[in-house]
Amino acid sequence: MNTDEFKCKIDQLDSAWKDFCDAGLAVVDYLNPKVTVEIGVHFGYSLNVLSFRNTGEVYGIDIIRQDGISIPENATFILGSSLDEAKKWDTGKKIDLLHIDGDHSREGVKSDYERWLPHLAGRAVVLFHDVICYAAVWNFFIGLPDFKLVLKGEDECGDTGKTFGLGVWTADSEVAEALEKTFKKNNFSLDRS
């Protein structure tokens, strides 16, 4: 399936991630992750994006399995708490790409980040969805050390007048520079935080 066919297929899914499909594909293409974990699958849009062209292992974790959820063939859905799954995670299986889109409270985002941080590979990237829409997500994200970038979308978050936003974080300066160049080259609307 080519990229246009893929986008047409997943466009049927309900998601606030639609503005970030191309950015997600660009991150996967650059990182070529061996292990990807998504926290908060909802209907599966972002899980599909992060699985498309991904030859590594892909896991989606959520406390609810929605009716109509779309789980890609190359992904494993785990029904459960992200915090419990982090405790059980195989410490030898380092994560290259982590997407946090579960509990949108500051404590929820902080807990997900801190519990999964020890499982990250050295060049890992962490995506934070709804970084603009939810003040709690923003307040945690902006306090992170190292490289942070915010991608802006067009879809508005409820009646707030804000977009959802996708935060991109990495501790690796080489990865940070390459992703920033990729995003600029592809004309993504972004802010350096």
Residue 53 has pLDDT above 80, yes or no: yes
Q: What is the pTM of this model?
A: 0.94
- Domains annotated for the chain, with CATH where assigned, are 3-192 (3.40.50.150)
> When comparing pLDDT for 35 and 152, which is higher?
35
Q: List pLDDT tens digits, range 98-147.
A: 999 999 999 999 999 999 999 999 999 999 999 998 999 999 999 999 99
Which residues neighbour 5 within 8 Å (Cβ) at sequence distance 6 or greater? none
Higher pLDDT, residue 96 or 14: 96
How many other C-beta atoms lie within 10 A of the C-beta of residue 56? 16
H helix and E strand count, the chain: 7, 8
Mind listing the pLDDT tens digit for each residue in 136-187? 999 999 999 999 999 988 877 776 666 789 999 999 999 999 999 999 998 8
